[in-house]
Structure 1
């Protein structure tokens, strides 16, 4: 299972693909069959994000457990907001608040990810 923790490439690739799939599904017609398929594929990528993120969390959290724990929490919240947007828009309920929360949680998650020692050195 070393391929999960030797770099962050797998984790970054899964969340980038998941966000693209989420955005495609979110802007499709809520009643279309293609949206349902995109939603199921994005759920698969949510699971891959959680598996790769958990492996990285276990491998690296000994250095700064609180920051890695916060990133894990905000990552879960980001995935939760993505799911809420898709499910509530299918039921034709308001999703503005969930879009805003998605944007905020995604920003915080990415900021923490880039800030932590195994992230990219942007700051």
Structure 2
């Protein structure tokens, strides 16, 4: 069950981040709402990750620690991406870092879970 909560929360973070990036020029208020929704989902991701840690930590200690660090890095990159966008600074670097971090985090996460909850 926690894997579904974790996956849905990550999908929500990616969707809200992309919507916030696109919508900023049209509505700063909606941008702020998307940013706050992301922050609520961070809490959900962290809590569900803690609940799932006991399943993967016993078999893959190093990979689990790497996944935790990747998840924290991804959250940090999302925050930097949105804050640079809000300050109207160039955010292309953080957009690419976001894409790389999400792909790496999802790949390691599916490796640790054996492909669940999708397979």
Scaled by the length of structure 1, the TM-score of the pair is: 0.85
Equivalent-residue separation in structure 1 for 2:107 and 2:23 (angstroms): 29
Q: Which runs of 5+ in 1 are unaligned?
A: none
Matched, 1:11 2:1: no
Which one of 67, 74, 77 corresponds to residue 73 of structure 2? 77
Q: Which one of 50, 60, 74 corresponds to residue 56 of structure 2?
A: 60
Structure with bigger helix share is: 2
Runs (4 or more) in structure 1 with deviation over 3 Å come to none
Higher relative contact order (CA 8 A, sep 6+): 2
How far the C-alpha of 1:102 sits from its partner, in A, is 1.0
Aligned to 1:104: 100
Q: Give 3-state SS (helix, strand or coil) of 2:58's partner.
A: coil
Per-residue deviation at 1:119? 3.7
Which deviations, in whole Å up to 9, do the C-alpha atoms of 1:63-97 show, x marking residues without a partner?
11110110111111111111111111100111111
| CA RMSD, Structure 1 to Structure 2 (Å) | 1.8
CA distance in 2, matches of 1:68, 1:24: 30
2:19 is aligned, of 18, 24, 41, to 24
Helix, strand or coil at the partner of 2:23: coil
How many residue pairs get aligned? The number is: 116
Q: 2:85 aligns with which of 86, 89, 96?
A: 89
Q: Give the TM-score taking structure 2 as reference length.
A: 0.88
